[in-house]
Amino acid sequence: MDSHTVLYGVIGDPIRHSKSPIMLNRAFREKGINGAYAAFHVSPDELKQAIAGVRGLGFRGLNVTIPHKIEVMAFLDEVHEGARAAGAVNTIVNNDGRLIGYNTDGIGYVRSLKEEAEPDLKDKTIVVLGAGGASRGILWALAQEKPKAILLANRTEEKANELAAFFSQESGISAIPWSSLQDVCSYADVVINTTSVGMSPNIDAVPLDPSWLKPGSVASDLIYNPLKTAFLQQAERNGCRIHGGLGMFIYQGAYAFEYWTGEPAPVEVMRATVLESFGK
Ligand code: NAP
């Protein structure tokens, strides 16, 4: 670092588990870019000051994670169309003091799901568990693939109803009660966990009983810490194809890197760096 170093970071609460700093700093080094990326613990009542700090200190970019992806939009100058449709921002670009919000979670997730588990989502029945910030991001991107149906269930059912109503009828997204999950999982082609259930340190928790899934269907989990959640381990034992959150994490970071620097991200180096940090 020197007096020309351009600054980046990620804000969240909690944040110390984040692999974004090692992944993005490695990407800057690989591409010979004089940038530095750090993690900042920001509580909800500090969010406004944190964003003012981005402007004041001239950070070029910021990632945003739990629990700020929705609330942060109030402090930006512009929200990109895809992020507006998703209703959540995970990446901010500072263009000479003008802060623009993007959502790279959804497009990163869908690219990873198609590359690693299910190349064609058209006409598939997809179940999405969870109606938080990550769910919002992927729903819009999933709907672009024209599946047969996207069935959304959330522990707090009112939030699933509100989120489904937020999207247009053509999106094919509808809310279902949590109590109907056993039934819909028996015929769904893809079941996606977007809740935080199973995330480190609560690694033995599962969001639903994995034996409800149809053998041969895809069980997908947005969580990447641990790499293979208890939900995925049990679904795999029951004959499902499995898809973890690491690919989404790599590609959301790659898209953010590209928005900030205008250069293609070194995706394989980023993946290897994160895997190495897990001791794999
Ligand atoms: P969030 O906005 O806080 O939403 C959390 C969701 O989990 C809500 O739907 C919540 O339901 C549900 N939930 C929490 N505890 C639950 C429980 N005990 N039983 C059932 N549902 C429960 O969080 P988020 O930003 O959407 O993130 C969710 C997960 O996605 C996290 O584990 C995060 O690590 C992961 N993620 C991964 C990536 C990636 O790159 N791979 C990117 C983003 C997020 P209620 O509404 O009922 O509280």
Ligand 1 site-directed mutation target among 196, 220, 248, most atoms within 8 Å of CB: 196
| Residue 39 DSSP SS3 | strand
Residue 260 makes CB contacts below 8 A (sequence gap 6+) with: 8, 60, 61, 93
Considering the entire predicted model, what is its pTM? 0.86
Cα(221)–Cα(232) distance, integer angstroms: 7
Could you tell me the distance, in angstroms and rounded to a whole number, from the CA of residue 37 to the centre of ligand 1? 24
Ligand 1: centre distance to CA 132 (Å): 6
pLDDT tens per residue across all 280 residues of the chain? 999 999 999 999 999 999 999 999 999 999 999 999 999 999 999 999 999 999 999 999 999 998 999 999 999 999 998 899 888 899 999 999 999 999 998 999 998 999 899 999 999 999 999 998 789 889 989 999 999 999 999 999 999 999 999 988 788 999 999 999 999 999 999 999 999 999 999 999 999 999 999 999 999 999 988 999 999 999 999 999 999 999 999 999 999 999 999 999 999 999 999 999 988 6
Ligand 1 atom at minimum distance from 105 CA: 42
Catalytic entry in 19, 31, 48, 69 = 69
Structural domains of the chain, with CATH? 6-103+247-277 (3.40.50.10860), 106-244 (3.40.50.720)
> Distance from the CA of 157 to the center of ligand 1, in angstroms?
14
- Does 69 participate in catalysis according to the annotation? yes
Residues 6+ apart with CB under 8 A from 8: 24, 35, 36, 37, 38, 59, 60, 61, 62, 63, 260
